[in-house]
Structure 1
Amino acid sequence: MASEDLKEDQEVSFCLNLFTLRCGHSFCRVCINQVLNTKEGSGVYSCPECRAEFKEWPSLQRNVTLCNAMENFISNNPQQEEITGISCTYCVHSPIPAIISCLLCESSLHNNHLRVHSEEAKHVLTDPSSSIENRKCSIHKELLMYYCTEDAACLCMSCTLAEEHWGHQVEILDEAIERKKEKLSDVLRKLYMQRQKTEERVQRLEECRGRAHQKANREAERLNALFTDIRNQLDDLEKRMHCEISRQEEQESLSISDLIQKLELKKDELSRNIRSIEDLCNMPDPLTILQEPDMGDLCDPEEGEGEEVTGYVDDPEQEEADEDSKGDTGGDYGFQQILHTLSNIISDVNVVFYGQRPADILLDVNTAANNILISDDLKTATRTDKKQNRPETAESFQCFQVMSKERFTSGRHYWDVEIAESGICWVGVCYPSIDRRGWQSYIGSTNKSWSLFIGRGYRNQCSVSHNKSELMLPYQIFSAGVRIYVDYEAGQLSFYELCDPIRHLYTFTTTFTEPLHAAFCVWNKYVKV
């Protein structure tokens, strides 16, 4: 009964490439991919049978048991009557599908006629065929009974006696067919294995495509978070600058008002003095004028001159000239700060590195100090109290440090560094000509190196150093990783904290004159690239 049900289920078209979802339902791989692709924009994938939902692209597993069962069923149930469409030769009133053909009689037989058919050996029975004449020799009109292996030709009895086949190896046709079937079975087995491997590879590629899709979504989310942060920074910067402009305007206005009040008082005093002198000059008695005290000190030319407000000049032309000069230098409203902040924001945008692969940094054992242990894969540098007994050469550092094998002379490059919890280290770049002995060998201590100090074991502080000049940064580093970015031609070295979103810490701007090596100073614990 189960076989009949399965047979009825296969009356429709299907493929044997069946895959199963986590909910247990199986589908054709092409069909289920088409269904899942339609759910791409919604963010939720569902089973078309039971509507079970999946937040991510569901992994597909090939249903090997079901596929094998279908293949066995089809091979054991050829449904010859329906497939061949050949009717019994002797059922003339109502056509009945034949189950066998007789090559000698050149007829096809139903089960009832087969019972009364001759069982002589010369009556060769075979599967139902509409081209029985193809089983007879076209020359002698005899049944094909033999097979010539040298000429790859089917022969009748008369053909085996013909001159063109003398001395050839001849086999009985049925035996040759069986041998050929064995070879074909071996080929079929190999093809099945190749198909299974291909299906497995397709499945792996589907999974890779799913992972690529998830990676793209993560990168898009990072990018959205980054630009959201940039917009917030710009908004905050705009508000701060507006407040600063208003503050300076109010300060200038108060200063100018105070000066105007003083000048108004002076103007009143001058008006009184003018009236007094005018009254004196208009007196009719000249002797009275001579008897009045000298008033020349009322108009002291030095008095009151030079008074001005800070940032304000009482001369429109001079003020306009000053404004032009401020336009070149940033003015009084902090435009230099704006340019610096925007530069940092642009650096934040560049650090997304979408589509760019990190540099493969390997540590150079020949440059490592004897208190630095280098891992076998040349990726981890660990501070150790056990001397490594490496020969001290001109290349090796005296203490705590190691350089990379790679050197950069052009282009843009970045690499990530993992810092141990509670670790203290300096990371950065240096020239190959850096000293390897004394204080001048530490990265950041000379003009041949640049460094970022990370104190995960020291209040999570961080600072940058170059040429003995250290700048404490207003950040604390809580993440385990930092990113170092070099743009050689632009002369930029940038440091970032690998948090979400990634955070810009500082950018050095200079002109690189030598190749650059990644450099590491490990005070305790380890660093890993």
Structure 2
Amino acid sequence: MASSSSSSSSSDIGVILNELTCPVCFELYKEPVALPCGHSFCRVCIEKSWENREEETGCVCPNCREVFPQKPKLKKNVIIANLVENVKLKKGKFGLEVRVTEHGDVNVKEGMKSGGSEIYCELCYGEAAKRCVPCEILCCEKHLKPHQQKGHKLVDPGVKIEELRCIEHRKPMQLYCKDDGSLMCVTCTGGQHRDHDVVALEIPHTELKGVLAAKYPHVSQSMETIASQLRHVQEEEGQTENSSGNAEDRLEEKRMLVCQFVNESVDLMKSEINKRKMEKLSLLGKQREKLEQQMEDLRQGKSTMDAAFHDLEAISFLQGSKDLIKRLQTMSDFKSVKRTPLPVLDFSKEKKNLDGLITLNKNFLEKIQKGPVEHPEKVELDQNNLRKLYGRTPSLDPNSAHRQIKISGDLRTATRTRTDNQYPEHPDRFDVYEQVVSRDCFSSGRHYWVVDVGSSRWCEIGICLNSMGRKGGESWLGMNPESWCFFKCNNKFSAYHNDQCTDLSVPGDHERFGFFLDCEAGEMTCFGDSRVLHVFRGNLMDPVKPAIGVWDDSVHFVHLVK
């Protein structure tokens, strides 16, 4: 019973404390005042409440919402004030902690902002949770409960009351006209909407939600599709940036090669000019010294003759006649001396080469300016210029060599042997045909190399895809779609690709052949003594390697020095 009595006592005290709590600040009343409607508040709380209201409808009771056209005279509620003082004096006896709020001039509760902001409760200035539409007031969670219990319509704090009311009748909009799709209040039904199909707002609200729900999957799927396309575009943008950057880097490399070639060509020409100049100046110097000596001898002879004519008497003249005659004979010999003219220095050949390079660059630049060049024309230069611009010296791959092919120490010569060499097993090694490929693998750009076949009467030289098989009868160079080769047999030449033969006319006895590979154009041009012998064309999307087939003696790559 004691426990029940204690619990009942605590409950009674709680009820008393609730009645002595200001409905605005939720603290014990401080200087409580009563309004004409009977509700009491702290003086500071009610005054601040009226100051923060923006409406011009007079003073409103925060509790019952009664409007006072004029500010009522606030009278102290003596009974509540005395009860509050008694509670404060007996708080230790009650076993409760009673907090007393110190009201200031600016804020009702410390840390709470006043001023009628729409995000704050109009009763306690705490953070507003909802707006009560019928009461037109912002409420926090604590002050919201009475409105919920009365079934008032609640909206988010940011919603303005004006938007929820009928413009004509200033009443809440609760109905929807299906005929003209407008919102209206109850009073509107008696006007122009009298015969219209009018329903509660909840009905079109539910219907519209259903329509949106039906379209939601389609919208979500469309978003996923667009997101996927956006990712592809972004990836392509990145690839474009990378590819263009790589292309620019390759162009810079080509520019360096062209500049290097031009600089080396000019330097070689200047060196040759200087060499020829020094040789000719040396010969001219010797001629000049000889002529100067002859001139000096003539001066002395002339001086002697002048003396003989003017100064010597007969006896002296005759006594020196022998020496004078001797000098005259020497002077007569000078008349027969003829200077051998030296050849004029001629640099027309070097100038022609440079003019050709300049003209080529101008023509190519004009084509670039007119639009993209899909298949640039082959460089119209002699093999010497091809060597300087694109020269390579491929190295043979011992791991690919047939067992009856011996590779030299510098990896440039392949020699046919009649016995098997002790090579280890390797997946890249040719096992049927006496062939070998290079270590070099070309997938882009232009490349030029020279092969010497002077020691071989029967051989093949060309290129093959790196992916071409090395085993079995399908690996013969030129007899499959993955290789292109130049075939020599007893000074007769032909071109092979995919088992298709093209006989070639190669005048003379050529020992060296040049190969110019243009990966982007898909072409390989075979030169013989600066003459185009054949142009191979094919799909060179996969990397290719120079290849050699040796059936007797040896074949080797010529070392090219740029």
Tell me the TM-score normalized by structure 1.
0.41
Larger Rg: 2
Tell me the TM-score normalized by structure 2.
0.39
